[in-house]
Chains A and B, each alone.
Chain A
Amino acid sequence: MKKLYSIFKQGIIFENPLLMLMIGLCSAIAVTSNVSNGIGMGLAMTFVLLFSEIIISLFRKLIPSMIRIPIFIIVIAAFTTIVDLVMKAYFPDLSKSMGVFIPLIVVNCIIMGRVEAFASKQNLPSVIADALGMGLGYTWVLIGLAAVRELLGNGTLAGIQIMPASYQPILFFILPPGGFFVFSLFISFNLWLKKRMEVSARNKELAAKKEAA
C-alpha cells in the first residue's frame, strides 16, 4: 500500500509530467484559457492514460517487444477515439472549443512515455496508481493555469463572474503569449517547491541521524 502511494505521489510534484518532465505541453497551454476546458481536457487525458496503461499492463507478457510501439499506438488511438466520440455526443460545446486537441491526445508524449516506461513492465495495481498520479499531476496544472488565466484575463472562473464589475480584464492572459508567461511562472514555482521539499527531507534525515547518535 505504501509503495502504491509513493508511486501515486511521484506524478504530482516530483515527476510532474508538465512541469518537470516537459512532455505533453501542447494541450496544456492551448486549452487553458478557461477553467471548464482545463477540467475537460484533464479528465479526457486521465481516462485515456488509465485505460491504455491497464490494457497494456494486462497484455504485457503477450506483446512481442519488436512490434510493441505500433501496438501501443493502436491501443491509445482506440481510447482516444472513444473520448472524441463521447465528447462530440454529450459535450458538443466543450468538444468544439477544444477542437483538434482531443484527437491529438493520441500523440501526447505523456501517454506514450508512461506506457513504454512503466505500464509495459509493471503489474496492475502499481500501473493504476501511476496513471492516476500522472493524470492528477496533469489535471492540477491545467486547472491551476486555467484559473490564473481566466481570472486575470476575463474576471471569471468557469464562466462565473468573480472579480468586481469595475475590474478591467487584462486581455494579455487569455491570448496565446499569456499562456506561455503563466506557464513559465508555474515551472519556476514547481522547481522552488521541489527544492524546498528536498531540503526539508534532508534536514529531517540529518536530525534523525543526530538523535540516533
Chain B
Amino acid sequence: MDLGKIFLLALLVNNIVVMRFIALCSYIGMTSDLGQSLGMGYAVTFVTVLATAATWPIYHYVLVPLNLTFLQILIFILVIASLVQLVEFYLKKNVPGLYTAMGIYLPLITTNCAILAVTFENISFKYNFIQSIAYSVGVSLGYLLAMVLLAGIRERIKTSPVPKFLQGTPILFMATALIGVAFMGFAGLVK
C-alpha cells in the first residue's frame, strides 16, 4: 500500500476520534478552549510519531527474536511513559519555546489511548517502518483536526439556545455524531 493512501485513510476516512472512538476522554475533556486543544493536538502528534519510531524497532528487533511478543502491552506502555518523561526533560532544558507551548500537556498523554493504539496497530497491520511513520502522522493529525473542530463548535454552543435535556455533555456527543456523519462523506475518497 502506498504511503499517501495510508496517510489519507488514517487522517479522514478512519479518523481516530469521530470514526473509531479512540482518545475520547481528552477529546471531551480538553476542548473547552481552542488554544488548549491545539496544544494538546501538537503534543500528541509529536509523541505519537516518536513513540512509533521507538516501539516499532523494539518489537521487531528485540521482542520477536527473543520470542517475547506476549509482553507487548507491558513493554510498549513502559517505553511510551519513559519516552514522554525524557522528551519533557529535553524540551524544558533545550527548547523552552516549545516546552511552554505543549509542555504542560505532556504528562497527560502518557495514558492517551491514541498513542498506544497506533503503536499496537502498526504491529497488527504488519506495516514496515516507513508505513508505520506515515500511519502515525495521519492518525495524530486526524486527532488534531477533530480536537480543533470540536473546540470551534463549543465556542458556538456557548452562545446558542441548547434544548434543556441536552445541556452540558450530551450536546457535545450530539455534535460529535453530526461531525461523524460529515466524515462518513470521505468514505469513497480512497479506493
Show the binding face of A for B, using Cβ within 8 Å. 22-27, 29-30, 70, 73-74, 77-78, 80-81, 84-85, 99-100, 103-104, 106-109, 112, 175-181, 183-185, 187-188, 191-192
Contact = CB atoms under 8 A, between A and B. Distances in A.
A107 B181 contact: no
21 contacts: A22-B169, A24-B25, A25-B24, A29-B21, A73-B77, A73-B81, A99-B124, A104-B117, A107-B112, A107-B116, A109-B111, A176-B18, A176-B21, A177-B18, A177-B178, A179-B21, A180-B18, A181-B177, A183-B173, A184-B173, A188-B165
Given A77-B73, A81-B74, A104 B113 contact: yes
B17 to A, nearest CB: 9
Contacts of B180: 175-177, 180
**DSSP class of B's interface residues: helix, strand, loop or mixed?**
helix
A78 to B, nearest CB: 7
A109 B25 CA distance: 8
A177 B181 contact: yes
A107 B166 CA distance: 29
B171 interface: yes
A116 to B, nearest CB: 11
Contacts of B170: 184-185, 187-188, 191
Contacts, number: 114
Interface of B: 18-25, 28-29, 70-74, 77-78, 81, 111-113, 116-117, 120-121, 124, 165-166, 168-174, 176-178, 180-181, 184
A26 B21 contact: yes
A86 B177 CA distance: 34
Given A81-B71, A188-B165, A104 B22 contact: yes
A77 B79 CA distance: 13
A180 B174 contact: yes
A181 B173 contact: yes
Contacts of A185: 170
A135 to B, nearest CB: 18
A189 to B, nearest CB: 9
Contacts of B178: 177
Given A22-B29, A23-B25, A29-B24, A177 B184 contact: yes
Given A81-B70, A176-B180, A26 B23 contact: yes
